[in-house]
Amino acid sequence: MKYFRESEFDDFGKMNPDLIDRLEALRAYVATPIIITSSTGGVHEPNSEHYKGNAVDIMLPNTPKSLLDQYLAVERFGFHGVGVYPHWQYADEIKGGFHLDLRDFDDSFARWIGIREGGKNQYIALNAENLLKYLIN
């Protein structure tokens, strides 16, 4: 690996090598550090791709690019599932982040936005209307 260290992952031995390759390619493309906030650990849904080594949560806290531009960059690398989380914070600043996974193609190309409203997490389809509403500031 050129851009990441094994220690950045909760259990590197469980990680899908294809996911690591795509992360490396994304990192080279965006030319800014990527922070892995969760991989195989953490608290996720019981059937989460995280526990299978097929998912990571990431942030690009030092980029001047908008969350929309970051999303468009992420889409270039063929992740099967992409969740966008505009409310994620890094160093007490709202920066936004992404869930990226390589779920089975039977359930592929899932896209969503995770938002917090009324103190609860909600997941909505990522479509043109929601892109405009949540990712363009």
Sequence ranges of the domains in the chain: 6-135
Whole-structure pTM value: 0.92
β-pair partners for 112? 83, 125
Class of domain 6-135: alpha beta
Distance CA 137, CA 135 (A): 6
**pLDDT tens figures, 4-17:** 999 999 999 999 99
Residue 51: helix, strand or coil by DSSP? Answer: helix
SS in 3 state form for 104-126?
A: CHHHCCEEEEEEEECCEEEEEEC
**pLDDT tens figures, 27-62:** 999 999 999 999 998 888 888 999 999 999 999 999
Distance CA 115, CA 84 (A): 9
